[in-house]
Amino acid sequence: MKKFLVLILALTALLACENESKDESVLTAKIDVEDGAKVYFSAMSNDGTPKAIDTAIVKNGEFSLELPKVDYQTLSILTLDGDARGNVLFINENKKTEGTVYKDSLQKSDLTGGENQKLLQKYLNFIGEQGKKSNELGKKFRDPNLRNDPEMVQSLKQEKEVLTKQENEFREKLIKDNPNSLVSVLVLADMIGMNINPNADKKALFNSLSKKAKSSPSGKKIEKYLEANQDISIGSKAPGFSAKTPEGEELSLEGALGKITIIDFWASWCKPCRIENPNVVKLYNKYHDKGLNIIGVSLDKKTQKDKWLKAIEDDKLAWQHVSNLEYWNEPIAKLYNVRSIPATFILDEDGNIIAKNLRGKRLEDKIAELLD
């Protein structure tokens, strides 16, 4: 009899756990649409694309979806039938989720669930409020009366800077305070999409995340982006490289640094580059003795090596040159995200980028400012 009671208690506990698990893996929400309308549920898959999971039918102004069990948090998406624009994002984290979906303003829908869903809602609410403030500032900037009021213009610019600073600080704090949250990964993805902060800062934030956060589909995308986009913003350390000179010797960036160094991306076939070369020659001749070094990185092809060498001689380019002769696949150009030439990066003696993409008079003025 005692064994029987123990078995009954065990089965009861098991059933209770199953019921609790089912309850917690459900999304239930109110929505003001006609009965019979469809709500589509998708989740972000391992390849970083949404995967259709289920469809719910609205009945009596509500719909319900059974959520799949997840090992970590999953970014999930609701979309509506018909002409409703946008979608509703929520975090599936094996917690019961409920709330209200607003057909005419899906982004303002309010869903509550686990701690990470609360964090997502907090972020979305903050960005919504900041957006309103930014729009108000935009209206003020468009006021024609501002043209005659420079003090007001300056005041509005300062207001905009404060707003931007608040957003950056909010995002960075959220990520640092929640290293294991998928929301932190999504916020970092936002920063990358909006080109906020140098890549070095984004990399530091990414490194602060937990292993599970980094391994999420969105985390893997960020990791791939950071690997492919070395930080080439002003103030960051210039990515190191080495390549063959025309004589076949290996030259490294570190070994070629001067007091000031220009990395000059060009090619023998590039007319704008060849037109600019006399200006660079004049600059080099004037400032080389004061510490100016130049490294020419050519985007010529392997079949154009003779043309590369002839262009160096014809244009009197007396500085150091390197190239892998791989045209637009030039590894150094990819490292510096160069998509058009001529392109220049100006480095200080420690190899930090202090200016870039200057030509003609602007380049001359910058070098004069640094070395005169």
Which pLDDT score is estimated for 77?
Answer: 95
**The two structure tokens encoding residue 136:** 């108000």
**The two structure tokens encoding residue 122:** 């907090």
Cα separation of 43 and 68, whole Å?
Answer: 10
Instruction: Determine the Cα angle at 30 with ends 42 and 217, to 5°.
Output: 20
Cα separation of 252 and 31, whole Å?
Answer: 63
Which pLDDT score is estimated for 45?
Answer: 85
Query: How would DSSP label each residue in 132-201?
Result: HHHHHHHHHHT-GGGGG-HHHHHHHHHHHHHHHHHHHHHHHHHHHH-TT-HHHHHHHHHHHHTT-S-HHH
Fold: same for 18-111 and 242-371: no
Name the one residue in this structure whose structure tokens are 């060009």.
266
Q: Would you identify the CATH topology of the domain 18-111?
A: Immunoglobulin-like (2.60.40)
- pTM beyond cutoff 0.75: no
Cα separation of 316 and 285, whole Å?
Answer: 11
Cα separation of 372 and 286, whole Å?
Answer: 10
Which pLDDT score is estimated for 200?
Answer: 66
Residues of the chain below pLDDT 50: 1-23
DSSP type of residue 367: H
Q: What are phi and psi of 149, to 5 degrees?
A: -135, 75
Which pLDDT score is estimated for 212?
Answer: 95
Q: Would you identify the CATH topology of the domain 242-371?
A: Glutaredoxin (3.40.30)
3-class DSSP state of 299: coil
Which pLDDT score is estimated for 199?
Answer: 67
Query: How would DSSP label each residue in 32-56?
Result: -S-TT-EEEEEEE-TTSSEEEEEEE
Q: Which of 333, 358, 365 lies closest to 232 in space, CA to CA?
A: 333
Q: E strands, 245-303, where?
A: 250-252, 260-266, 292-298
- Annotated domain spans of the chain: 18-111, 116-228, 242-371
Which pLDDT score is estimated for 249?
Answer: 94
CB distance 370 to 258 below 8 Å: no
Over residues 78-107, the pLDDT tens digits come to 999 887 788 999 999 999 999 999 988 888
DSSP type of residue 237: B
Over residues 23-45, the pLDDT tens digits come to 478 999 999 999 999 999 999 88
